[in-house]
Amino acid sequence: MKINLKINNKDYSIDIEPNITLLDLLRDELGLTGTKRGCEIGECGACTVIMDGEAVNSCLVLAPQTDGAEIITVEGLEENGELSKLQKSFIEHEAVHCGFCTPGMLMSAKALLDKNPNPTVEEIKTAIAGNLCRCTGYKQIVEAIQKTSEP
Amino acid sequence: MMLPKINYIKVNTLTEAYDAINQCLGELSILAGETDLLIELRKKDLDTHQNILDISNINLLKEIKENGELIKIGSLVTHTQLAESPILKKHAALLAQAASMIGSLQIRNRGTIGGNICNASPCADTVPPLVALDAEVTLSSIDGERVLPVADFIKGPYKTARKSDEILTCISFKKLPEGCRSHFIKLGRRNALSIARLQVAVVGMLDNTGNICYIKLAPGSSMPTPTRLHEVEKMLINEKPTSDLFVEAGERTAQIMIEKTGIRWSTEYKKPVLAALVRRGLEKVFKKTTNHGDTETQSR
C-alpha cells in the first residue's frame, strides 16, 4: 500500500507492506537509524519520535496509521547544519553515557519544550518518565532539559 | 519482532466501518490507539492474515462533550485528552486523575478510553473510576445502538459483551453532584509504566450535618469483574466519617475480595493492602477541607 507522510520536513510517498511499524519504516525502509529499537512493547522509550506534535513510541504505531502524518525524528533536530540548543545542552551536562536512550530522551524533551518552553522539574520528569536510561541516573538529563529552557 | 501479515482496512466514518465489518470474512480486530493491539499481534502466527479495521480516523469519536447533566466521551479520546480535560477535572476528577497515571506520556498520547475498556484488562486504570461513576457504554452496529453499564459490559478478564459487528462508540455518565469529591488510588511497583497491582476509586459527599450522604466505591485489580461495593457503601451511608468506620470499610472490602476470588497466591499481600487503600481513599474524599473537587493528580 502507498502512504504519504512528512518526516523531518521532507515529503515522502512510500510503498509499504501494511505489517510494519513506524519504527521499521524509519530504520529499515528509510535508513533513519537514529531512532533506536529497544523493547518493542512501549516500555523503554528508545524509539520515541514526535508524531503530529505528540511524543509517541514508534514501535507501537502501525506504519499505515502514519498516512498524512508529520513525524520528527532525532535526525530532524539539528538547525542549519548545527546541533540544536537541546542537543548541545545534553553534551554540556554530560547527559549522554552509552547513548542508546538519548534519541528518545531528546524527542520526549523536544515534545515537552515545544508545548511548554519553561517546564518545572516535575513536568520534565513526567515528560521523560516513559524513557528508560540505565547509565546517568537521570539527573544530568533533567538538568540538560532544564537549562535548555532558560534564555 | 515481526508482525503477522495484515489485511489493513482504514475507514473515515462509522458507516464505512459497518460496511467493512459486513464485508469481512473471518475475525476482525479493531485498531484505535494500538498500544495493546500491536503487542497482541506480535504473539500471533506470522503466516495467518490478520484483518485489522483502523477506526482511528473517525473524528466524531474524538470529543468530550457536556450534554446537560451528562458527559459523553467518544471512544477514541486519548488518555492525554482525559487527563487534561477541564470538563472532567470539574465534574469527574477521578477519571482525569486515573488517566494521568496510565503508562507513560507516549502511551497516553496514543491509547484510547474505548481501547482501555474493550481490552478489558482486570487492571485497566479507567475502569474503576467509570464503574464508580455508573458509566455506560454505547455499542453501535449497522442494526442500531445498545447501551450497557461498564460493569456489565466487562464479562471477565479480557472478555466483554461486545459482539463482533459492534463498535464501542461512546462512554457516558452523569456529572458528579455539586460538592462531591472523588479520588483514585493506583498502587504499582513504580510510578511510570507500571501495571496496577491494586486500585481504588472513591466518590463521596457529606450532607450539612456532617454525615455521608453520597458514596460510591469501586476497587480494581481485585475482583473477577469490575463492580461497585454496594455492601460497603451501605455501611458508610448516613454515618459520620470516622477513622474507625473507614478501617471497618477497608476490612470488609478485603473480605469481599476473598469471598469472590478465593484464597490466591497474592491474597496475603492484597488483603491488608486493599483494606489500607480503601481506608486511604475514604480519608482523602472525606477529609475536612474547603477545596471542592480533588486536584491532586498523582498519589505518590
Quickly count: other Cβ atoms within 10 Å of residue B288's Cβ: 7
Beta bridge partners of B203: B182, B216
- Chain B positions in Cβ-Cβ contact with residue A127 (cut-off 8 Å): 105
CATH number of the domain at B64, please. Answer: 3.30.465.10
Count structural domains, chain A.
2
Distance of alpha carbon B263 from alpha carbon B255, whole angstroms: 10
Same domain, B245 and B215: yes
The minimum CA-CA distance between B26 and chain A, rounded to whole Å, is 18
Would you say A58 and A44 are in contact if contact means Cβ atoms under 8 Å apart? no
B279 pLDDT tier (thresholds 50, 70, 90): very high
In this structure, the answer to whether residues A68 and A104 fall within a common structural domain is no
Residue that terminates a domain, selected from B174, B189, B209: B174
B62-83 pLDDT tens trace: 999 999 999 999 999 999 999 9
By the 10 Å C-beta count (0-12 exposed, 13-18 middle, 19+ buried), A144 is classed as: buried
- State how many domains chain B has: 3
Residues 9-38 of A with CB under 8 A from B: 18-21
B298 Cβ contact list (under 8 Å, min separation 6): B100, B101, B191
A59 with A11, same domain?
Answer: yes
Q: Quick check: B168 and B84 in contact, CB under 8 A?
A: no
* pLDDT at residue B288 in the model: 67
CATH number at residue A89: 1.10.150.120
B1 belongs to a structural domain: no
pLDDT band of residue B180 (cuts 50, 70, 90) is very high
Q: What is the pTM of this model?
A: 0.93
A89 in the same domain as A71: no
Q: Is B191 on the interface with A (CB under 8 A)?
A: yes
Do B66 and B147 share a domain, yes or no?
A: yes
**Which domain does A40 fall in, by range?**
2-76
CATH code, domain with B268: 3.30.390.50
- Within B133-266, residue ranges assigned H as helices are 150-153, 230-236, 243-261
What residues 50-79 of chain A have any CB closer than 8 A to a CB of chain B? 54-57, 59-62, 64-65, 67
Please say whether the beta carbons of A24 and A78 come within 8 A: no
In a shared domain, residues A50 and A110: no
Whether residue A54 sits in one domain with residue A119: no
Question: Is a pLDDT exceeding 70 seen at residue B21?
Answer: yes
- Last residue of some domain: B121, B156, B174? B174
Tell me whether residue B292 is in a domain.
no
Answer yes or no: do A111 and A129 share one domain.
Answer: yes
Verify that B32 and B65 share a domain, yes or no.
no
Q: Do residues B72 and B25 both lie within one domain?
A: no
What percent of chain B lies above the pLDDT cut of 70? Answer: 96
Q: How far apart are CA A41 and CA A71, in angstroms?
A: 20
Task: Determine, for residues A64 and B10 on separate chains, whether the beta-carbon distance falls below 8 Å.
Answer: yes
Closest-CA distance, B219 to chain A, in angstroms, reads 26
Residues B165 and B199 in one domain: no
Residues A7 and A37 in one domain: yes
Q: Chain B contact for A39, CB < 8 A?
A: no
Residues A71 and A100 in one domain: no
Torsion of CA A6, A10, A16, A22, to 10 degrees: -60
Model confidence over B89-139: pLDDT tens digits? 999 999 999 999 999 999 999 999 999 999 999 889 999 999 999 999 999
Residue A51: which CATH number?
3.10.20.30
Count of H-run helices and E-run strands, chain A? 5, 5
Domain edge (last residue) among B174, B204, B231: B174
Q: Which domain holds residue B39?
A: 6-54
Indicate the pairing of strand A70-72 with strand A2-7.
Answer: parallel
Q: Is there a single domain that holds both residue A49 and residue A21? A: yes
* Model pLDDT for residues B229-259, shown as the tens digit of each residue: 999 999 999 999 999 999 999 999 999 999 9
Establish how many alpha carbons lie within 13 A of residue A76's alpha carbon, considering only the half-sphere containing its beta carbon.
Answer: 18
B297 occurs within a structural domain: no
pLDDT in tens, B149-163: 999 999 999 999 999
Per the domain annotation, does B261 fall within a domain?
Answer: yes
Mark whether B168 and B85 lie in a shared domain. Answer: yes
Confidence of residue B49 (pLDDT cuts 50, 70, 90): confident
